[in-house]
């Protein structure tokens, strides 16, 4: 994305020296559904945020082996506090798209991702979200360590 | 709808002699959103079930003064066990539609509704759903009396 | 349901001296649908962009008497080029929300709106979008004058 | 994600003697998105119809090599005239589901599919849809031969 891709992609199997998961990037392929189009003949702009959600989910699974479902079972909910998207070219029905998702920033209680959506080599959209960790009472809690560091060994009680 | 409309519509202000809410009918107006269309230029067929959900919600509110949110707060969830729709003519973006919702049948633990969707006097679609009452553990429970009879006085703890 | 309340113009009640529609504001009430919630028990963040679409549509209708459907019939499509939202407090099922939509900026070919979503007096979310006018070939075209100036008399061929 | 597993035809492995595609079955795997859940913590019932749409699309692609997008480019639209679903057990966030789609019936201008949705070996839902072929003027037209017979060689102008 905008910044240099760090060594965090884990695609080479080399453990990142960095203490955090910032820079970790993963890719997802998705097929545009008819339901996602609107009468302009393109993907409705609001649906890109669903794609981004899928990107975050698969990044977490790839990096930690755990599902976001597991995060919620541990009584942490990651609430979207900010979301934005720039639409460069339309995505269309049945397009096979590639979504690149990257961990952009981590603070005490928040996690920011950046997204790029491609059809072949054409960049269609760029987006970003920030998630805040809260417990079931809605109180802000720290980003769990195993998410902060993408340490598979440290996922509590994960049996997946 | 298909059967004769009973005296239960309450539009005349006369209390139904029937012991149940079967036959109760209410009307809702709704405006088609751009998001609901697909690239055929019509409302995506799956979205009619969202309209039907709105019809059930407003019928309950009109008949009892209580929201379906209140039903869930009383630890009853009304789970859709069956849904169907016949599409006669397309609904389009920005159409102002009229949805007629009617309680069609009540059994021990289930509640069936029928729906008719109109643009002006043109019938666009007909549908039906069946809901089953379950508690938070997923066990089937009886339809609450105040829903069975649409008895406003009997809504437990309703403060709306 | 989903009625539009008239606001009659700029926030401060002062008639805009500018020849453009910048500053025009309108209000919309909307009821949260069950379908719009997610398993966190709140409105899914992507759905706010559908609310914003409704706000733009009703602002245009209120200001010009014309529907956005009419705009497309005139061979102008207003494509979303940018969208963002800040989520402050969650909206919940069955909430009756007030959406304030304001024309924030107009350039040669683009139109920007800002949005505030309230439950009673509590601000739940703030958003913004930019639309670019294109014709059916996808070429960028100027914002039509009747939209730039909200001049009801100048809406071409409008019969609504 | 969302890969299509080949099934290669009729359920029993016997090549259909019929000249039509009736009985052709295909399988699709799909991952439940967070956006698809509702506050009951399960997939919103209306979203199953989107899954069914995906099943039809992948069945057509698998059987003919052509996308439904190609069908529309040939000026045939397949409009849903009827849809129904029976919900047996809830699907949940992040579930990896298997959808079996089968061509159930073909008439002069219509095509009916049946669907079964599984999580592992557990049947979650059964559905059915009927599509009617119309041209861009909305007039009913025959089911194209290459769809009726799933004859890959006969797909007009298909370059995929």
Task: Out of D35, D39, D42, name the one closest to residue C46 (CB).
Answer: D35
**Contact call for A35 and D57, based on CB within 8 A:** no
pLDDT in tens, B109-121: 999 999 999 999 9
Tell me how far apart the alpha carbons of residues A149 and A143 are, in angstroms, rounded to a whole number: 10
Chosen from D1, D68, D79 to mutate, greatest number of chain A CBs within 10 A: D1
Confidence of residue D16 (pLDDT cuts 50, 70, 90): very low
* Structural domain boundaries, residue A18: 10-148
- Cβ-contact A62, B57 below 8 angstroms: no
pLDDT at res. B127: 98
Average pLDDT over residues C88-105: 98
Q: Is B54 in the D-facing interface, judged by CB distances under 8 Å?
A: no
Q: Which two tokens stand for residue B156?
A: 């437990």
Contacts of B83 in chain D (CB under 8 A): 45-46, 84-85, 87
| DSSP state, residue A46 | G
Residue C94: Cβ-neighbour burial (10 angstroms; 0-12, 13-18, 19+):
middle
Q: What stretches of A86-155 show up as alpha helix (H) in DSSP?
A: 145-148
Active site residue ranges of C: 38
CATH number, domain containing residue D48: 3.10.129.10
- Cβ-contact C77, C136 below 8 angstroms: yes
Residue B80 lies in a domain: yes
Q: Is D151 in the A-facing interface, judged by CB distances under 8 Å?
A: no
Average pLDDT over residues D114-125: 98
Residue C143 lies in a domain: yes
Measured in angstroms, the CA of A32 and the nearest CA of chain B are apart by 12
Rg (C-alpha) for chain C, rounded Å, is: 16
Average pLDDT over residues D110-130: 98
Active site residue ranges of B: 38
Confidence of residue C154 (pLDDT cuts 50, 70, 90): confident
Task: Out of D40, D46, D50, name the one closest to residue B77 (CB).
Answer: D40
Average pLDDT over residues A41-62: 97
pLDDT at res. B95: 98
pLDDT at res. A93: 97
Residues in chain B: 160
Contacts of A66 in chain D (CB under 8 A): none
Task: Out of B80, B85, B87, name the one closest to residue D87 (CB).
Answer: B80
pLDDT at res. D158: 56
**Closest-approach residue (CA) in chain A for C130:** A86
CB under 8 Å to A31, separation ≥6 — which residues? A94, A95, A96, A97, D2, D54
Task: Out of C39, C46, C93, name the one closest to residue D37 (CB).
Answer: C39
pLDDT at res. B19: 65
**Contact call for A45 and C49, based on CB within 8 A:** yes
Contacts of B82 in chain D (CB under 8 A): 84-87
Tell me how far apart the alpha carbons of residues A160 and D95 are, in angstroms, rounded to a whole number: 12
pLDDT at res. B108: 95
**Closest-approach residue (CA) in chain B for A36:** B38
Q: Is A49 in the B-facing interface, judged by CB distances under 8 Å?
A: no
Q: Is B81 in the D-facing interface, judged by CB distances under 8 Å?
A: yes
**Closest-approach residue (CA) in chain B for C68:** B94
Whether pLDDT at C1 is above 60: no
Residue D160 lies in a domain: no
Q: Which residues of chain B have pLDDT under 50?
A: 1-17, 159-160
Q: Is B94 in the A-facing interface, judged by CB distances under 8 Å?
A: no
Residue C87 lies in a domain: yes
Residue scoring higher pLDDT (B158 or A136): A136
**Contact call for D38 and C42, based on CB within 8 A:** no
Contacts of A79 in chain C (CB under 8 A): 40, 87, 90
Residue A1 lies in a domain: no
**Contact call for B39 and A44, based on CB within 8 A:** no
- Cβ-contact D78, D111 below 8 angstroms: yes
Measured in angstroms, the CA of A36 and the nearest CA of chain B are apart by 7
Q: Is C11 in the B-facing interface, judged by CB distances under 8 Å?
A: no
**Which of A126-140, B8-22, D59-73 has the lowest average pLDDT?**
B8-22
Tell me how far apart the alpha carbons of residues C127 and C117 are, in angstroms, rounded to a whole number: 8
Whether pLDDT at C26 is above 70: yes
Q: Is B7 in the C-facing interface, judged by CB distances under 8 Å?
A: no
**CA neighbor of C7 nearest in space, from C30, C31, C20, C23:** C23
- Cβ-contact A150, A21 below 8 angstroms: yes
**Contact call for B50 and C33, based on CB within 8 A:** yes
Residue B134 lies in a domain: yes
CB under 8 Å to D18, separation ≥6 — which residues? none
Give the neighbours of chain D: at least 3 Cβ pairs within 8 Å: A, B, C
Measured in angstroms, the CA of A40 and the nearest CA of chain C are apart by 8
Contacts of B80 in chain D (CB under 8 A): 45, 87
Q: Is D63 in the B-facing interface, judged by CB distances under 8 Å?
A: no
Chosen from A39, A43, A46, A93 to mutate, greatest number of chain B CBs within 10 A: A39
- The total domain count for chain D is 1
Residue C3 lies in a domain: no
Residue D85 lies in a domain: yes
Contacts of B35 in chain C (CB under 8 A): 50, 53
**Contact call for C35 and B58, based on CB within 8 A:** no
**Contact call for D34 and A28, based on CB within 8 A:** no
Q: Which of residues 110-149 of A touch B (CB under 8 A)?
A: none
Average pLDDT over residues A42-59: 98
Q: Is D38 a catalytic residue?
A: yes
**Contact call for A57 and D94, based on CB within 8 A:** yes
Q: If you count DSSP H runs as helices and E runs as strands, how many of each does chain C have, helices first?
A: 3, 6
**Contact call for C46 and A45, based on CB within 8 A:** no
Measured in angstroms, the CA of A7 and the nearest CA of chain B are apart by 40
pLDDT at res. B114: 98
What integer best gives the mean pLDDT of chain C?
88
Measured in angstroms, the CA of B33 and the nearest CA of chain A are apart by 10
pLDDT in tens, D76-103: 999 999 999 999 999 999 999 999 999 9
Confidence of residue C72 (pLDDT cuts 50, 70, 90): very high
Average pLDDT over residues C7-33: 71
pTM of the complete model: 0.89
Tell me how far apart the alpha carbons of residues A81 and D88 are, in angstroms, rounded to a whole number: 35
Task: Calculate the CA dihedral of residues B76, B80, B82, B87 and round it to 10 degrees.
Answer: 140
Average pLDDT over residues D3-16: 40
Confidence of residue C8 (pLDDT cuts 50, 70, 90): very low
CA torsion sign for D127, D132, D135, D138 is negative
């Amino acid at each position: 994305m905008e910044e240099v891709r760090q060594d965090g992609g884990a695609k080479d199997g080399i453990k990142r020296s960095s203490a955090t998961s910032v820079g970790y990037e993963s890719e997802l392929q998705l097929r545009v559904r008819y339901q996602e189009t609107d009468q302009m003949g393109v993907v409705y702009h609001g649906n890109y945020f669903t794609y981004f959600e899928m990107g975050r989910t698969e990044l977490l699974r790839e990096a930690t082996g755990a599902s976001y479902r597991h995060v919620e079972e541990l009584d942490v909910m990651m609430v979207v506090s900010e979301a934005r998207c720039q639409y460069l070219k339309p995505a269309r029905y049945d397009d096979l798209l590639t979504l690149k998702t990257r961990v952009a920033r981590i603070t005490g209680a928040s996690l920011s991702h950046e997204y790029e959506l491609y059809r072949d080599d054409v960049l269609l959209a760029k987006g970003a979200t920030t998630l805040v960790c809260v417990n079931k009472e809605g109180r802000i809690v720290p980003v769990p360590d195993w998410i902060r560091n993408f340490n598979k060994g440290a996922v509590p009680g994960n049996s997946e």
